Amino acid sequence: MSALIDEFYRVHRNIPWSLLCHTRKAIIMKKSFLIFVFTCFSTVAFCQKNTDKPIALLEKMSANRSFGMKQLSLASGNFTVSYYRCEWIINPAKNYIRGTVTPYFDITSPGTSLVFDFSYALTVDSILMRSAKLVFTQYSNETLSIQLPASYTLGQKDSLSIYYKGTPVGGGFGSFVQSIHNGVPVIWTLSEPYGAKDWWPCRNGLDDKADSIDIYITHPSKYKASSNGVPEAEVQQGSTTISHYKHRYPIASYLVAFSVTNFSTFTDYAAIGNKNVPVISYVYPEDSAYFHSNVNSVMNGLSLYSNRFTPYPFLTERYGQTQFGFGGGMEHQTNSFVINAEENLVTHELAHQWFGDKVTCGSWQDIWLNEGFATFCADFLYPEIYNPSQNLINIQGDLNYVVSLPDGSVKVNDTTSTGRIFDGRLSYDKGAYLLRMLRWTLGDSLFFKGISGYLNDPKLRYGFATTADLQRNLEAVSGQSLGYFFKQWYAGQGYPSFTVQWSQTEKRKAAVTLSQTTSHPSVTFYKVPLALTFRNATEEKTVVVNFTKNNQQAKVDVGFLADTVLIDKDYQLISKDNKSIHLTAGTPPVTAVFASPNPFKSQLLVRLHGMQSQNVRLEIFSNAGQLVKKTTARPQGNDETISVTLPSTLPPGNYVLHVEGKMGVLKQQLIKE
């Protein structure tokens, strides 16, 4: 165990050891997939392998506790909340909360009651509407039903105050955590996706944002409180202090947060347009110097994202960072909670202020609109400008992760599974690569103009969005129909493998034949702009061919005699196992394998154009890699086909056809009905 810890510190030697030794926390080794969880009063640690990226893995772990038996918001649909006044009494030395939450609500359909999401583990003392007590019931399904004093009509507005107390059930990686750092107690919250109701009554779904919020935290005066929005006032009353935070932008309930401990604070200023935006950091005193010396990543990110997308979404208030004990970060609105100041982490959480906070995914099916965008910004866009040596490493690492399996869509096909929602390969890295490919397809000008339009869309800004909303905005600025793109890369699974056969019979021109196979049958062909780089010892030229059909032929003007053709050398597209074949005089062209029908029952007809004189080996494997059919044959007839009969007992499912000859190995995904 000590050897593992030593290796972790060697890799992260620029991070103070104090950051790695809080009594309760999780630490993730970026790109190494080892987690160390240190629990209170214990020197025992364990490690766990996981193939998810660190940020995705940690957010998945947090969400796991929140799902269980309480996956969805059960708040009634007859009201929305326009404003919350939250008053909390917190002592970080005690795992306890006493609070009063006053929601101002608008009735959207007539009724005599309201239902809020709220933990059954907490006790409601009373609910007042002005001075009158209201009848209420707490249910074990995590709801609080409140009887209104009369039948309310459509459009009616009112408010009530909910008084409650207790020990929230969130703990460890949960929504409400009481822990210590360097011997000092701390309480912090992290509520994504459904954990807000663990510690305060609210509407907990992706269908409502309060227009504004005021937060008052009463705590012992030796501590400081950090929360959303602007730190408005600190009023001392005896041995306690009331810290007031004011936020005047729409906010989803899972983005509301606070923390209380002996924070050290410092303020920097980011110039955005004609505004100097305060950047306020709340960090543990033992790590203050480290955070301050690494604040440039935040300042650079604020400038970059503001220039490329829209100005910082909460421009009239501030941005902040609060250190907490969770082994990653969380994009609480205006105030990201982070464990350290590592570049990728802080730029990822900062990007969420645009993608996730200003515009929030309207369903966990579209979580990539939060996480794919933040990963794109932190993995690709930020290092492209500020850390070029890291940029190619990130591109190759993310691409290798995406194609490490042959299936999987960016679209979440099971929103009841935390693991699927926070899948690092699909929601994060493939989502980020989807954006990289959109940028490549549209070009920088149209891509960034379209993203700015999406963020400023009156139907979406400071609200909720779906993938269709993003597509609509990109199509509006580009004039292009992108339905095919989102069908391939968002809803479809897998990736293509490209084969390029090329020859030059004259100095300037090259003849190319393009073909592809796909890793999953949900997409039979990927329409893409494919970059081909022709090269010799002294010259290089890249041409882009709009690849629209299989076995596509094209003539390209190279201008010199090449000896090599590289396929997508800058990794603009998701692909794997690409082949470049230089055809010399007398070499017949070889195209991709095409087997039909697909799906099949027992008979397959395999077409192999240009291979009439060759014996080829055909093998069919199950998805588990088991060989189910093997034969050697020569294509027959003008259409150059091989007929294959498979066992009638072959079970339905996915299979892979391998065709091996002089051209190498070609593959095609098959489905057995």
Q: Is the pLDDT of residue 99 over 70?
A: yes
In this prediction, residues 393-410 reach a mean pLDDT of: 97
Spelled out in words, what is the top-level CATH class assigned to the domain 594-672?
Answer: mainly beta
Q: How far apart are CA 375 and CA 331, in angstroms?
A: 13
How many C-alpha atoms does 65 have within 13 Å on its Cβ side? 21
* Torsion, Cα of 440, 443, 445, 447 (10° steps): -50
Within 10 A of 459 (CB to CB), how many other CB atoms are there? 10
Give the pLDDT confidence score for residue 44 in this predicted structure.
28
255-264, 291-300, 657-666: segment of lowest average pLDDT:
657-666
What is the structure's pLDDT at 64? 52
| pLDDT value of residue 79 | 98
Give residue 482's pLDDT: 98
Tell me the mean pLDDT in the region 48-69.
51
List pLDDT tens digits, range 409-433. Answer: 999 998 878 888 889 999 999 999 9
Q: 546 pLDDT band (50/70/90 cuts)? A: very high
SS3 171: coil
User: Residue 57's pLDDT band (boundaries 50, 70, 90)?
Assistant: low
Q: What is the rounded average pLDDT of the residues 230-236?
A: 97
Residue ranges, comma separated, of all CATH 2.60.40.1930 domains in the chain are 594-672
Residue 496's identity, in one-letter code, is P
User: Strands 329-330 and 335-338: what pairing?
Assistant: antiparallel
Out of 204-208, 455-459, 631-635, 658-662, give the one with best mean pLDDT: 455-459
pLDDT of residue 328: 87
* Residue count of the chain: 673
Q: Say yes or no to pLDDT of 269 above 70.
A: yes
HEC readout, 264-277: EEEEEEEEECCEEE
**Which whole number is the average pLDDT over 189-193?**
91
3-class state of residue 468 by DSSP? helix
- Tell whether the model's pLDDT for residue 215 goes beyond 90: yes
Average pLDDT of span 521-550: 96
Quick one: average pLDDT of 588-612? 73
The encoded tokens of residue 418 equal: 């935390």
pLDDT of residue 528: 98
Average of pLDDT values for 175-203?
95
Q: Report the 10 Å Cβ neighbour count for 340.
A: 22
Statement: residue 256 has pLDDT above 60: yes
Distance of alpha carbon 228 from alpha carbon 352, whole angstroms: 14
pLDDT number for residue 32 = 29
pLDDT band at 327 (very low <50, low <70, confident <90, very high): confident
Strands, DSSP E only, in 549-638? 552-557, 564-567, 579-582, 594-596, 603-607, 616-622, 627-633
Q: What mean pLDDT comes out for the span 45-61?
A: 49
Q: What DSSP designation does 522 have?
A: T
> Where in the chain is CATH 1.10.390.10?
360-491
For residue 498, what is the enclosing H or E element? strand 496-503
Q: What is the CA radius of gyration of the chain?
A: 29
Name the pairing type of β-strands 143-152 and 157-159.
Answer: unpaired
Query: 56-65, 380-389, 500-509, 517-526: which has the minimum mean pLDDT?
Result: 56-65
Q: Where, residue-wise, is CATH 2.60.40.1730 in the chain?
A: 77-261
Residues carrying CATH 2.60.40.1840, the chain: 496-582
pLDDT the model gives residue 173: 53
pLDDT at 58: 56
pLDDT band of residue 673 (cuts 50, 70, 90) is confident
Give the pLDDT band (50/70/90) at residue 288. very high
* Residues β-bridged to residue 217: 88, 243
- The answer to whether the predicted template modeling score (pTM) of the entire model surpasses 0.85 is no
Distances (CA, A) of 568 to 16, 316, 387, 621: 40, 43, 22, 29
Q: What is the mean pLDDT of the chain?
A: 87
With cut-offs at 50, 70 and 90, classify the pLDDT of residue 205.
Answer: confident
What is the longest distance spanned by two Cα atoms in the chain? Answer: 96
Q: Between 1.10.390.10, 3.20.20.370, 3.40.710.10, 3.30.420.40, what CATH number should domain 360-491 receive? A: 1.10.390.10
Neighbouring C-beta atoms of residue 584, cutoff 10 Å:
7
Residue 16 has a pLDDT of 44
pLDDT value for 487: 98
Distance CA 528, CA 575 (A): 11
Q: Say what percent of the chain tops pLDDT 90.
A: 71
- 622 touches 630 (CB < 8 A): no
The residue assigned the tokens 């802080």 is 346
* Residue 621 binned pLDDT confidence (cut-offs 50, 70, 90): confident
The lowest-confidence range among 44-48, 184-188, 668-672 is: 44-48
With a cut of 60, say whether residue 25 has pLDDT above it.
Answer: no
Phi, psi of 669 (to 5 degrees): -80, 140
pLDDT in tens, 482-522: 999 999 999 999 999 999 999 987 778 999 999 999 999 99
- pLDDT for 28 equals 30
> Does residue 271 register a pLDDT over 60?
yes
Selection from 342, 379, 372 nearest residue 356 by Cα: 372
Q: Which CATH number does 77-261 carry?
A: 2.60.40.1730
Return the CATH number of the domain spanning residue range 496-582: 2.60.40.1840
